[in-house]
Amino acid sequence: MKRPFLLVGNGVNNVLQDYKWQNLIDNLIDHIGAKGLFNTPNKPFPLLYEEIFVEAIKNRDYTELALKEFISAEVLRLNPSKIHHEILTLKPLHLLTTNYDFTFEKALDPGFKEPKNEGAVKETVYNIFRHHKTGDINLWHIHGSANNPSSLTLGYEHYSGYLQQMRNYIVTGTGTSYKQRFESLIRRLSRPLKENLSWLDFFFTEDVHIIGLTLDFIEIHLWWIFTFRQRAILTKKINIRNKIVYYYPTDLETSIRNKLDLMKSMGIKTQPIPSDTANKAIFYTRVVDHIRNQ
């Protein structure tokens, strides 16, 4: 089997872990001494984070780095479950994740301590190039990694800046954003691509399987990639032949119909996988089997 390219979201952490994303939000609010001050339901987290940020900076003498260091310490408590191990049986060549934690690294190497960034440039805030290798798998923490708190993509401001950097990399080139200049991905794709510099390359060159990612509409950078890619295909700007496949549990099909319709319009294959509300972990086992058997 050809080694797959995977994009894995926080769903893999939310099924078998006692510690969930809502716990992190609640603990952050408690940490700054603001319990009961925020109405958290139905708020996109990047905007809720901005609300927490304002309270922490304006009234409670915190720095943003202190907030991100707290979140980093929280997610480092997470340990791999059988789901992480099952996904790794696919032996992905590249594993992209929106998660800050090192659960996959720990599953690969129980003695894992600190990743060594092997990116083409050493970013401090954004995550265009940041990646490292554990065993023979390349891991890309596209929302930042817990060992570098400044890289955590949390608030609306960070998301917006990140999208700007991504668009530059793909459309116009990096210019003076980095010490080393990079030609735009569009131009590089007009001839045989010699090397992959960024996780962004894979969405135009490799089949990418998306697992355990809710793809909320606040993920403006990912939705922008899908939109730009489909526009490029329709206008024949780039010869794109790879596939993007989004796996989702059948029991959510009705509730996420709006997302599925949008994905299909953007050329993304939506793949339903039978689910079991009594045993949510089995969804991931079935996804792994489906990818393996293709």
Compute mean pLDDT per 10 residues along the chain, 294 residues long, and list them: 93 85 92 93 92 96 96 94 97 98 96 92 94 96 97 96 96 86 92 90 97 94 97 90 96 96 98 91 96 92
Do 242 and 100 lie in one domain? The reply is yes
What per-residue confidence (pLDDT) applies to 97? 98
What is the residue whose two structure tokens read 């401001």? 157
What is the residue range of 39's domain? 18-77
Do 88 and 62 lie in one domain? The reply is no
Q: Structurally, how many domains does the chain consist of?
A: 2
Do 161 and 288 lie in one domain? The reply is yes
Of 41, 59, 77, the residue at which a domain comes to its end is 77
What per-residue confidence (pLDDT) applies to 2? 85
What per-residue confidence (pLDDT) applies to 179? 81
What per-residue confidence (pLDDT) applies to 232? 94
Residues 6+ apart with CB under 8 A from 258: none
Do 247 and 107 lie in one domain? The reply is yes
Do 172 and 45 lie in one domain? The reply is no
Give the pairing type, strands 244-249 and 137-141.
unpaired
Do 59 and 110 lie in one domain? The reply is no
Of 43, 77, 111, the residue at which a domain comes to its end is 77
Do 157 and 243 lie in one domain? The reply is yes
Distance CA 200, CA 145 (A): 17
Do 72 and 184 lie in one domain? The reply is no
